[in-house]
Structure 1
Amino acid sequence: MVSAFAFTTTQVGQGLAFGFGAFIVFFGALSVLAHDRAPDHWGLAVVGLAMFTVPFIGNGFSYDRWSSWTCWLAGGLAVILGGFAWMHDRTTTEYGISDVGDSQRLRHPWSYWIGRLALIVGLAAVLLSIGLPATAAPRAVTIGLGAMIAVVAVWSLLASEPTHNFLTLAIVGFALFLSPWVAAFSGDGIAWTGWVAGGLATALGVAGYVRGERGDFATAVRDDSTERYRRRYR
């Protein structure tokens, strides 16, 4: 918030950097005061992601590099802090136990490979969107959704039970796949980034979700965590 007033040189850049910075402070303050901090940490991560991607949306930021760097640095840190905290919000008594057991040992190697491949796809979509010639709107859509694919992929790698992360991955990937038509940039070269990256992310997400559901992995994780919880706290 201080940087928005001290270093930015355009009104648009100043207003957006200040607004997103204020929201980061807002969610940070709530996370200090609240007992159940998961929604506040989730909000922090979402705001941080939006702040990180907003410099790509309009041409106003291209004349205000300080504002862009403010959004990239503060937004990136907010995503990391919010996502990390959200992954550790479950308590052993409230959300039962899932953090007590070493349930990641039950995961099959294929689930990690899906997460790693999805992370590569998301990062590739972001880099290609930055490098390819395009107008502001298509670039913003592909960068934003590509970054979200990467974030969900990281969550799936950290999760003890990633089935629902794979479902989220499929949803975001399908949104990216449809975006060239929805946002009316199917005639641009950057549209292929959306189609290819979105299609790959959708396929990976659907494969992980379906296999996880059919294997009833969630039940195995809960049973293992329950047994470990009972042995530790009985």
Structure 2
Amino acid sequence: MTQRIFVTGASGCIGHYIVEALIQETQHELFLLVRDANKLKIDVTARSGITVLESDLREIEQHRDLLKTIDCAILAATAWGGDSVQTVNVDKTIELLSMLDADRIEQVLYFSTASILDRQNQLLPEAMEIGNDYLKSKYLCCEKLANLAIAPKITKLFPTLVIGGGERYPYSAITAGIPDVTKWAKLIRLFRADGSFHFIHGHDIAQVVRHFVDRPPA
């Protein structure tokens, strides 16, 4: 069954890999919310059913009517710092989720960060107490998700250190921040190591999301 999927953060590293997988491997109707359409390196004309919405998450109320028709939402947009952290990562994210039709929406895939979790995968209080504004905003949002009517339909994803990027994809924050990593970005996803090895490639995240889109977690 064809779904109507709303994606935020499509112009980012993870977003590019996700959208590419959805375009190439599904026939779902896609609505891509991006601040600057020129940053999209994906061919959004590759098939029909792809709509680019050049807009800011801070103006999400403009898309209220559309959101009521959405079957699946993938929320990958984030603000890393500055005055917009609380607004984008908490307030407008919760507002977007509140606009979804609780009877229609089948699932939401929400991206957070593993940095706010403890070893038992529970929220880590220290992330709120001594974390930076980004970590605090992600912590707060996760707390608020539990109070939403659609909470049972939300799957929270907590990536660790994301690598990825290249000619067809923007670099992730860690890949761009460490120049030598760019040479190995395509290969690191193939590495295996004993113990804690907390890198994950954007391509692999996209495949997880692609799987969940058609097979929502129980």
TM-score when normalising by structure 1: 0.30
Choose between structure 1 and 2: higher helix proportion: 1
Choose between structure 1 and 2: higher strand proportion: 2
Which structure would you say has the larger RCO, counting Cα contacts within 8 Å and 6 or more residues apart? 2
TM-score when normalising by structure 2: 0.32
